Amino acid sequence: MNWWLIWIIAFLVLIFTVSIIYSRKIETADDYVMANFSLGFFPICGSVIATVTGSAALIGGAGKGFDMGIAYFITVISYVLFTVLAVTIIGPTIRKLKLYTIPDLFVRRFGKASALIPALIIAFLYMTPTFGMQLVGMSSILSTIMDVPVDMGVILGFLVAIAFTLLGGMPSVAWTDAIQTVVILAGVILVFILGLNHVGGIDVVINNTPEHMFDFFSIGGKELFNWFLVFGPFYIVWQTTWQRVTAAKSVKVGVWSVNIGFIISGLIGLLGILIGIMALQLLPTTTDPDLVYIEFLVSVFPSSIGGLFLVSLLAALLTGATSFLLSGAINIAKDIYQGWITPDASDIQVLKAARFSVAAMAILGLLIALYITDIIAIYKIALSFTAVTLVMPVLAAMFWKRATKKGVISSVIGSMIVSFTWSLIGNPFEIHEIAPGLIASFVILVAVSLFTEHSRDEEVVSYYSLYKGVNDPSVDYEDSSKEA
């Protein structure tokens, strides 16, 4: 009996049942992309874990643990640290502003013209390639357990992902994420514990593994710094996190659920790296890094049990793919279509534009997945250029009243040019392009802002200061409803 196939079929039936149920409840664009701002702790926390614990954290993390060892843990430290700090400090402001997207912040603070480039960057430079990354992860699973070519696995993953996204939107994503997170967490813990026992115990792993694999500083200070910067600052402006905070039913729920979700994701990421190190005891050193986690799992568990954990990972990749499609679709539908093409578009038109955007981005992501199969390579590029162009302008909108529209636009364009040029000339001094890009972004933004005046369409304000003393509007609404 092919248990792998049985688990996949059961999984597909479950998620499409959920999608069909929620598709009947979707009437507005807010329902589709933000779950009508009503999500509680469990669906948000689960959605964060399932989205983070996809290709990069487990499949990519195990592969890097297999190649680099424990040094790769610097990336986990980085994204958890930056996210918790950012969400704790500016998360309440994000929720009180009810920001759909990061470009939405640009429109409010610096005017419509400032938001176009960020919308294009997020939708096409980050969300679309990262969707392709999830397809690569899904293909790794499907090609292993169904004996299909990698390209066919990518296409199968694409078809399932786009159908799931078009049907259910954010509500189905959040709730299926929450449910499968329990299975993912249990699966990773069991893979680690039973895998350790399978290879002979901790003493065998330590004695048979090269010492540098357990040396956190084995890759050198510069390389650690590079990995820290690539995976850290980006998470200040990860739109997926912003949308989870905004979709929450209150500020408190949004902040706590996202922070706890990332802390748990960090623990899962650490286990993924350690599983990659353990896999050195079983797998040839020539094993494709993107297949390390899956092949190790298949080696440890019989298909009747392992199929459940493997399918839960497939589910995480699918809903991660869906999250990236939805997030990018909001940029296109609201920031570009409604913001520039049809300002008076009705809610139904925006909803249709969002679903059309999902399809268009999915096709582009499919092409990326077919031609670039290295998960971490895709992710590094997407993270780097998004962080370089958006981190400083977002912080300026939140904290610096003197920032001007001209300063922000100059910073976005200038930092991208500097970062691309630095990469083109071979990353001098072995410093990743994100470092000079962030420095250029800061310097250009401050210099141009100090020598230019605010435009008429700017809202000259520091949002963090403005909303610091403002009560949670959702709590006020709930209190007034109870009094009524």
Distances (CA, A) of 287 to 65, 274, 342: 13, 16, 51
Q: Does 374 have pLDDT greater than 70?
A: no
Domain for residue 414, yes or no?
A: no
Residue at token pair 């991208």: 416
- Nearby residues of 152 by Cβ (< 8 Å), 6 or more positions away: 142, 143
Count of H-run helices and E-run strands, the chain: 21, 0
Domain for residue 191, yes or no?
A: yes
Number of domains in the chain: 1
Q: Does 202 have pLDDT greater than 80?
A: yes
Helix, strand, or coil (residue 39) = strand
Is-contact 97 108, C-beta < 8 A? Answer: yes
Q: What is the per-residue pLDDT across 241-279, written as a single tens digit (0 to 9) for each?
A: 888 888 888 889 999 999 999 999 999 999 999 999 999
Domain for residue 245, yes or no?
A: yes
Domain for residue 279, yes or no?
A: yes
Domain for residue 66, yes or no?
A: yes
Domain for residue 231, yes or no?
A: yes
pLDDT at residue 37, as a whole number: 57
Torsion sign, CA atoms 356, 362, 368, 374: positive
Residue at token pair 């895998």: 195
Residue 308 belongs to a domain with what CATH number?
1.20.1730.10
Q: What is the per-residue pLDDT across 278-306, written as a single tens digit (0 to 9) for each?
A: 999 999 988 888 889 888 988 888 877 77
pLDDT at residue 31, as a whole number: 52
CA distance 59 to 288: 11
Let me know if 237 is exposed, middle or buried by CB neighbors in 10 A (0-12, 13-18, 19+).
Answer: buried
Residue 279 CA, chain-centre distance (Å), reads 26
Q: What is the per-residue pLDDT across 333-359, written as a single tens digit (0 to 9) for each?
A: 878 888 888 888 887 888 788 778 888
Main-chain dihedrals φ then ψ at residue 180, nearest 5 degrees: -75, -20
Average pLDDT of the residues of the chain = 84
CA distance 318 to 160: 8
Is-contact 418 127, C-beta < 8 A? Answer: no
Domain for residue 159, yes or no?
A: yes
Domain for residue 449, yes or no?
A: no
Is-contact 159 372, C-beta < 8 A? Answer: no
Q: Does 148 have pLDDT greater than 60?
A: yes
Which of residues 389 and 18 earns the better pLDDT score? 389
pLDDT more than 70, % of the chain: 87
Which of residues 98 and 347 earns the better pLDDT score? 98
* Rg, C-alpha atoms of the chain: 22
- Nearby residues of 190 by Cβ (< 8 Å), 6 or more positions away: 309
Range of the domain at 64: 10-375
CA distance 154 to 108: 39
Q: Does 28 have pLDDT greater than 60?
A: no
